[in-house]
A and B are shown apart, each in its own frame.
Chain A
Amino acid sequence: MAASGATNDEMMDIGGAELDNNKNEKMFTLKKWNAVAMWSWDVECDTCAICRVQVMDACLRCQGDGNRQAGGKQPECVVVWGECNHSFHHCCMSQWTQQNKRCPLCQKEWSIQRMGK
């Protein structure tokens, strides 16, 4: 089936594709690479223990805000790591620390190690 896969109608623009008559030219020259990668927070547990939403998704509060926003654009909802290496949504944790300055998972005093960006 894939023999028909040489689709004619998808002409591609190839950067710097003029013929160069280099005799020592390799048989295959890679011109351009269209790479694809996926990013995720570098966390041990992919769920925020405070709001029970995946850290990759915005926390519930932010999702609600996004709902209200006319454009429906996701607001920035980043992840925060404590010195204990536990991670949460930054918004969730800010709420939490107003009442309790300890990590909800290990009860160690909470101090921010780094912040997602």
Chain B
Amino acid sequence: MSLRPKHVNFDETWGTLRRTIEGVVTLSKVPRVEWNDRFTDVYTLCVAHPEPYTNQLYSETQTFLRKHVQALRTEIEKYESNSSLLKVYYDMWVKYSQGVEYLNKLYSYLNQQHVKKSKLSEADITYGGVTDMPGHMIEIGELGLEIWRQDMLEKIQDTLIELVLEAIRSDRRGDTAVSTTIVNGVVHSFVAVEDPKHRIPGDPHTHLTVCHPFSASPTFYEKAFEAPFLQDTGRYYQQEASKLITTCSVSEYMEKVIQKLNEEDMRARRYLHASSYGKLSSECHRRLVSDHLSALHSECRIMVENDRRQDLTNTYGLLKPLASGLNVLADTLEAHIKKEGLEAVGNLKPETAHMDFVESIILLYKKYKDIVNTVFKSDQMFISSLDKACTAVINFRQCTKNPCRSPELLAKYCDALLKKSTKGYSETEVDEKLSQSIIIFRYIDDKDVFQKFYSRNLARRLINHLSHSMDAEEAMINRLKQACGYEFTNKLHRMFTDVSVSSDLNNKFNDYLTKEGIKLPISFSIMVLQAGAWPLQQNPSPFAIPQILESSVQKFETFYGRQFNGRKLTWLHHLSSCDVKLSYTKKPYFIIMQTFQIAVLTSFETCDEMVYRDIREATRLTDDQFVRHLQSLIECKLLECDDKEFTQDSIIKLNKGYSNKRAKFRISGAVQKETPQEVEQTHVSVEEDRKIFIQAAIVRIMKSRKVIKHNVLIQEVLQLSNGRFSPTISVIKKCIETLIERAYLERTPNSADEYSYVA
């Protein structure tokens, strides 16, 4: 056989070819030999001499297919409106589409040599330019599908779609008689007739490309089937929803909606083309959820208040896909946490305020953190609701004049845990509680206030050896450092270092004493603190130390001078304490008291009765300090006085009949209690520190910016102080004023709200 072009009789060749393609499109048996011959025939016709018969072949084939499809339609129209129409159509379609695919192969030569040449490039299609060219040749397979669409599908689509919709409706009603294969096949035929490359039904991967990303105009499937289908679905769920919402509670409604949405999702996968999955579920979602948003929202408060977690989970799941659907829920949650929190900490008993405050907030936090994590899937929106609510509760101020008590209470809580007297808590419990207190710490606005209180308490613990465990102390400082940075805990660290340095120092001093052969009249131990690191008041009063202690002071100063260079020591007698043994009582007592108290008490060494004035002069304490210590000794019954109010001439007597159940104990000093004045004082000193901080911040900003607008400056100061405290605008303004007065900056002459830096 020759491949050379030759004369052919078109009608004759077409006649045989036609018989074969009739067999092909009806999927009848076509023997291999026949197939091969016809394949050659197509070739021969296309290359015929002198004129190729390509166009003739194409149009004859077109006519043949059209007639074939029309014949099928005549047949199918007998089933008009009959549910078996679906099946008949499906069978015909399966057969025809398969046949056309084979046909396409038979016409390979024509497809490749003639169609490809005239085919438009992808870019031409994408960017328009060429629209429908009449008489334009397309591949035979594509042609076959096109003819099916024009002569079959478009003609009967209304009936067909109504039947499909009815089938899906009955599926929704739970009617199982619907054949998934048939409905699925019919639906996918809408997709297939437009694009022959993606014609295999039920393969989502190839189908995804059907909805061409560039084509704005909807595909035949979308227009003809999807649109009416979605409309029908919408109508169905609209009715369904309004029926449900009147008969069920919101809680039940949500359960049902979730079930329906799931079912519909499965249904989409059973019947529809993949491009419709999302559209279907959003349509259902719109009808079932969006349209009834107010009903769902109105229930939010009750669900949150009653901790109905399943309902909340459902609500979250349903509202999540909506643009701002969760706002109401998140706000409700925030408001509720805040309310619950304020109730919990609103009425604290003064004695246990710190414990109750911290523990109830931790409880609150844990509860809602759990809800946020499990119910709301750690959604950022709900995390921030919790944060906002906690911040509001923790920084709540009953009235704006008083400072917020939270930093103080939290510091006190830590103090209580770190003190020796902590009873009933194991070490791990203490550790856990301290870890948790960091949660609250992070929410506190006035971290500097906390720092002040904390450092005061720490100082007291360290000086009086009240710490339960140095490891716990250090761990806590490290936690604070982690949360707030090195600068924040710098001084706390230094206090801590002083303690260990001091213990070394004591050892060295004892070695020194032994070496020098000195024996002190009293066992001596000292803590040497670094100035500036400790939040201590200066010596409140002059003081004549009891003679017995003097030698210790002298010896230690000599020793210290040799150890270090250029240092001076200031003795803080108001912080020191003494162990004393009483020998005048029936049984001996060992008491720890402050050095000031000792000085007062030991005045009675030589006589049992003394006049106020004489004792005071002997100790050289100021009146104010003296009264406090004298009072403390009278209150613990070591001394006695008949006068209610002391006068210079009051007579003070030693209580020789003193008795106590315990033989060893500590009496607390007058100044050890945290008095309201001290709290007040702490707040005042915080205010001072803040002003200095703000001024330093302003100078730093001005130094780098040189010229700056007022508002920008305020913003930058706020930013810098963020994390320590939140200053008020008026305080910042005052600081700016101060700095202008002190000539650090000036107002620029040409603008009212601009400052420049004065170098």
Chain A positions near chain B (C-beta within 8 angstroms)? 1-3, 5-12, 14-17, 19, 25-43, 54, 56-57, 63, 66-67, 72-74, 79, 81, 87, 114-117
B577 and A34 form a contact (CB under 8 A):
yes
In the complex, which residues of chain A have a beta carbon less than 8 angstroms from the beta carbon of B667?
Answer: 2, 5-7
B668 and A33 form a contact (CB under 8 A):
no
From known contacts A2-B636, A12-B579, A38-B534, infer whether A117 and B564 are also in contact, taking CB-CB under 8 Å. Answer: yes
A9 and B421 form a contact (CB under 8 A):
yes
9 intermolecular pairs with C-beta atoms under 8 Å apart: A12-B666, A17-B581, A27-B605, A35-B571, A37-B570, A40-B532, A67-B487, A72-B481, A72-B486
In the complex, which residues of chain B have a beta carbon less than 8 angstroms from the beta carbon of A67?
Answer: 486-487
* Cβ < 8 Å to A, chain B residues 616-663: 631-632, 635-637, 660-662
* Chain B: minimal CB distance from A63 (Å): 8
B490 and A74 form a contact (CB under 8 A):
yes
In the complex, which residues of chain A have a beta carbon less than 8 angstroms from the beta carbon of B670?
Answer: 2
| Given A10-B666, A36-B526, A117-B567, 19 new contacts (CB under 8 A) | A2-B631, A3-B637, A7-B668, A12-B592, A15-B523, A29-B583, A30-B521, A31-B579, A32-B522, A33-B577, A35-B571, A36-B575, A37-B572, A38-B528, A38-B572, A39-B569, A41-B568, A42-B566, A87-B566
In the complex, which residues of chain A have a beta carbon less than 8 angstroms from the beta carbon of B487?
Answer: 67
Alpha-carbon separation in the docked complex, A81 to B489 (Å): 30
Alpha-carbon separation in the docked complex, A12 to B636 (Å): 18
Closest to B477 in A: A72
In the complex, which residues of chain A have a beta carbon less than 8 angstroms from the beta carbon of B632?
Answer: 2, 5
Interface centre among A1, A2, A33 (most CB of B within 10 A): A33
Closest to B584 in A: A27
B583 and A27 form a contact (CB under 8 A):
yes
B636 and A32 form a contact (CB under 8 A):
no
A36 and B582 form a contact (CB under 8 A):
no
In the complex, which residues of chain A have a beta carbon less than 8 angstroms from the beta carbon of B669?
Answer: 2, 5
From known contacts A6-B636, A56-B530, A56-B532, infer whether A116 and B567 are also in contact, taking CB-CB under 8 Å. Answer: yes
In the complex, which residues of chain B have a beta carbon less than 8 angstroms from the beta carbon of A25?
Answer: 583
From known contacts A41-B567, A117-B565, infer whether A33 and B583 are also in contact, taking CB-CB under 8 Å. Answer: no
What 7 A-B pairs are tightest by C-beta distance, nearest first? A5-B668, A40-B531, A56-B532, A116-B566, A117-B565, A3-B635, A32-B523
Give the tally of cross-chain contacts (CB within 8 A).
223
Q: How large is the interface on B (under 10, 10 to 19, 20 to 34, 35 or more residues)?
A: 35 or more
In the complex, which residues of chain A have a beta carbon less than 8 angstroms from the beta carbon of B536?
Answer: 38
A1 and B665 form a contact (CB under 8 A):
no
* Chain B: minimal CB distance from A110 (Å): 17
From known contacts A2-B668, A36-B463, A116-B567, infer whether A74 and B493 are also in contact, taking CB-CB under 8 Å. Answer: yes
Contact pick for B526, options A3, A10, A37, CB 8 Å:
A37
Closest to A41 in B: B566
Alpha-carbon separation in the docked complex, A98 to B128 (Å): 77
From known contacts A26-B605, A36-B572, A72-B481, infer whether A10 and B665 are also in contact, taking CB-CB under 8 Å. Answer: yes
In the complex, which residues of chain B have a beta carbon less than 8 angstroms from the beta carbon of A81?
Answer: 566
A37 and B584 form a contact (CB under 8 A):
no
Alpha-carbon separation in the docked complex, A42 to B560 (Å): 13
Whether a CB of chain A sits under 8 angstroms from the CB of B512 is no
Closest to A12 in B: B592
Whether a CB of chain A sits under 8 angstroms from the CB of B601 is yes
* Cβ < 8 Å to A, chain B residues 501-559: 521-534, 536, 546, 548-549, 552-553, 556
In the complex, which residues of chain A have a beta carbon less than 8 angstroms from the beta carbon of B309?
Answer: none
Chain A contact residues, majority secondary structure: mixed
In the complex, which residues of chain B have a beta carbon less than 8 angstroms from the beta carbon of A117?
Answer: 563-567
Alpha-carbon separation in the docked complex, A114 to B588 (Å): 51
In the complex, which residues of chain A have a beta carbon less than 8 angstroms from the beta carbon of B481?
Answer: 72
B489 and A72 form a contact (CB under 8 A):
yes
A30 and B590 form a contact (CB under 8 A):
no
Whether a CB of chain A sits under 8 angstroms from the CB of B595 is yes
Alpha-carbon separation in the docked complex, A41 to B567 (Å): 4
From known contacts A34-B576, A114-B565, infer whether A56 and B583 are also in contact, taking CB-CB under 8 Å. Answer: no
In the complex, which residues of chain A have a beta carbon less than 8 angstroms from the beta carbon of B582?
Answer: 27-28
In the complex, which residues of chain A have a beta carbon less than 8 angstroms from the beta carbon of B270?
Answer: none
From known contacts A38-B569, A79-B566, infer whether A30 and B529 are also in contact, taking CB-CB under 8 Å. Answer: no
Closest to B520 in A: A33
From known contacts A39-B530, A115-B565, infer whether A12 and B664 are also in contact, taking CB-CB under 8 Å. Answer: yes
Chain B positions near chain A (C-beta within 8 angstroms)? 420-421, 463, 465, 481, 486-487, 489-490, 493-494, 497, 521-534, 536, 546, 548-549, 552-553, 556, 560, 563-573, 575-584, 588, 590, 592, 595, 598, 601-602, 604-605, 631-632, 635-637, 660-662, 664-670, 673
B590 and A35 form a contact (CB under 8 A):
no
In the complex, which residues of chain B have a beta carbon less than 8 angstroms from the beta carbon of A115?
Answer: 565-566
* Chain B: minimal CB distance from A24 (Å): 10
Contact pick for A73, options B493, B571, B584, CB 8 Å:
B493
A116 and B564 form a contact (CB under 8 A):
yes
B565 and A116 form a contact (CB under 8 A):
yes
In the complex, which residues of chain B have a beta carbon less than 8 angstroms from the beta carbon of A3?
Answer: 635-637
From known contacts A6-B665, A33-B549, infer whether A72 and B490 are also in contact, taking CB-CB under 8 Å. Answer: yes
In the complex, which residues of chain A have a beta carbon less than 8 angstroms from the beta carbon of B552?
Answer: 33, 35
* Chain B: minimal CB distance from A11 (Å): 6
A74 and B532 form a contact (CB under 8 A):
no
Contact pick for B590, options A6, A31, A39, A72, CB 8 Å:
A31
In the complex, which residues of chain A have a beta carbon less than 8 angstroms from the beta carbon of B661?
Answer: 8
Contact pick for A32, options B490, B524, B530, CB 8 Å:
B524
* Chain A: minimal CB distance from B653 (Å): 14
Contact pick for B583, options A8, A28, A38, A114, CB 8 Å:
A28
* Chain A: minimal CB distance from B458 (Å): 15
Alpha-carbon separation in the docked complex, A38 to B579 (Å): 21
Closest to B665 in A: A6
In the complex, which residues of chain B have a beta carbon less than 8 angstroms from the beta carbon of A28?
Answer: 580-583, 598, 601-602, 604-605
Alpha-carbon separation in the docked complex, A37 to B578 (Å): 14
B636 and A74 form a contact (CB under 8 A):
no
A11 and B665 form a contact (CB under 8 A):
yes
Alpha-carbon separation in the docked complex, A7 to B593 (Å): 11
A38 and B570 form a contact (CB under 8 A):
yes
Closest to B478 in A: A72
In the complex, which residues of chain B have a beta carbon less than 8 angstroms from the beta carbon of A14?
Answer: 579, 581, 590, 664
Contact pick for A38, options B531, B548, B592, B598, CB 8 Å:
B531
B565 and A33 form a contact (CB under 8 A):
no
In the complex, which residues of chain B have a beta carbon less than 8 angstroms from the beta carbon of A38?
Answer: 528-531, 534, 536, 569-570, 572
A6 and B660 form a contact (CB under 8 A):
yes
In the complex, which residues of chain A have a beta carbon less than 8 angstroms from the beta carbon of B584?
Answer: 27
A73 and B523 form a contact (CB under 8 A):
no
A54 and B532 form a contact (CB under 8 A):
yes
Alpha-carbon separation in the docked complex, A32 to B660 (Å): 21
From known contacts A5-B667, A10-B421, A74-B497, infer whether A33 and B578 are also in contact, taking CB-CB under 8 Å. Answer: yes
From known contacts A12-B590, A12-B664, A67-B486, infer whether A33 and B523 are also in contact, taking CB-CB under 8 Å. Answer: yes
* Chain A: minimal CB distance from B556 (Å): 8
Alpha-carbon separation in the docked complex, A9 to B487 (Å): 36
In the complex, which residues of chain A have a beta carbon less than 8 angstroms from the beta carbon of B556?
Answer: 35, 37
In the complex, which residues of chain A have a beta carbon less than 8 angstroms from the beta carbon of B666?
Answer: 6-7, 10, 12
Closest to B670 in A: A2
From known contacts A3-B635, A30-B578, infer whether A37 and B525 are also in contact, taking CB-CB under 8 Å. Answer: no
* Chain B: minimal CB distance from A31 (Å): 4
Interface centre among A17, A27, A38, A41 (most CB of B within 10 A): A38
B580 and A30 form a contact (CB under 8 A):
yes
In the complex, which residues of chain A have a beta carbon less than 8 angstroms from the beta carbon of B566?
Answer: 41-43, 79, 81, 87, 114-117
